[in-house]
Amino acid sequence: MGDVPSCPPLTRSSVQTAHEAIKQHIHRTPTITCDTISHLASTPQSPESLKGTPFAGRTPSKPRINLFFKCENYQKIGAFKARGAFHALSRLSKEELSKGVVTHSSGNHAQALALAARTHGIPAHIVMPTISTPSKIAATKGYGANVIFSGSTSDEREAVVADVIRDTGAILVPPYDHPNIMLGQGTLALELEEQAKELDERGLDAVVAPCGGGGMLSGVATALYGTGIRVFGSEPSFEGADDAKRGVESGTRVEKVKTLTIADGLRTPLGKIPWTIISDKEKVKGMYSVTEDQIKAAMRLLLERAKVFVEPSAAVPLAVVLYDEDFRTMVEKEGGEQGWNVGIVLSGGNTTVEAIAKLFQPSSEQQAERQESKLGMNGERVAENVAG
């Protein structure tokens, strides 16, 4: 998709140029607030809730936080990925476009590239693992893409992509590890910055974004660098999914990740080019990680209190703000009495009602405990309070 040296530089002005190039093809997604969740974020956690965590024994912090949610779940194809795909195609010549495009993806990038290709009237060849979610396969086909199935490992997928390129001459559009993708994803930060100022003339003090391959986080950091708005990354901690955090701490990029975190959009290792931005502490001020239960709790709040339908990956930044005491203590210290206005990137909403129901279904152990709690000492059922 064009040699990296020939791409625009990774600067704020390049993100602004990218926004001009794609704005006719994307939604300017809303930025919303929720007083209830902001209040909860500004309320100290109980000492009991910190037991069993790395923060056990600490005095809970008392930050003042006002939240601004950038709703990329309302973006075309249901996720921010549309921005990078449309920008990548805008950078191709007519000759390159005529050859069509190819990528390997099991999720949002697959749908995004399929839509962008259809909009430009060109073929899209999408290599998807056979284990991909049926709804995502159907959506990708629905946008007119030629879906080709492969094994689930990166080597298997890349081998099929190589075959497609050999047979068709299609141009590879990677999901995150390319400047044109990063610049496109960063356009959401320009909108968030403007929209937050419209809601509060103070504007933003910080933005927290999720990090998988790092294309969006690095794009956001590039867009906001030099504005005074601090950028932070967020990841799941389950089974080593916090590879970017661990890499930044060690000074070496983690190249392999194998995790089944519920935040399936963040299972990808950090890309080489995004690493150059995310490892720069002037551009990304810190990386934080959260547990599966914390992700689910944040997702439940968004569903029940903000009435926003998101996938688990999108709830990770909010979980950091609510539960990570290192982050919260920093906000308390640096924000003072005025506090911080914090932008939260809700990266997408590509999940299903069935998947969410399964996510919140009690385990067999919890069901057994619940059943036992309904029984008295002699096996007699305890009266239950039932709402009328």
65-71/31-32 β-pairing: antiparallel
Q: What is the DSSP letter of 361?
A: S
CA distance 281 to 340: 20
- In sequence order, what are the residues at sequence separation of 6 or more whose Cβ sits closer than 8 angstroms to the Cβ of residue 304? none
CB-based contacts of 216: which residues, under 8 Å, 6+ apart? Answer: 80, 84, 176, 182, 185, 186, 188, 209, 210, 345, 347
Q: Give the pair of three-digit tokens for residue 157.
A: 């997928």
- E strands, the chain, in order: 31-32, 65-71, 101-104, 124-129, 146-150, 171-172, 206-210, 230-236, 286-290, 340-346
∠ CA 90-91-97, rounded to 5°: 75
CA-CA distances (angstroms) from residue 310 to 79, 188, 274, 295, 345?
10, 17, 24, 11, 11
Other CB atoms within 10 A of residue 44 CB: 14
Entry field: residues in the chain: 388
Q: Which of 11, 8, 361, 2 is nearest to 218 (CA)?
A: 11
- CA 50 remoteness from chain centre: 26
- Greatest Cα pair distance, the chain, in angstroms, is 80
DSSP string across 2-70: --GGGSPPSSHHHHHHHHHHHTTTS----EE--HHHHHHHTSPPPGGGGTTSTTTTSPPP---EEEEEE
* Position 256, amino acid: K
| Active-site residue list | 81, 106
8-state DSSP, 348: B
Residue 363 CB contacts under 8 Å (≥ 6 apart), including other chains: none
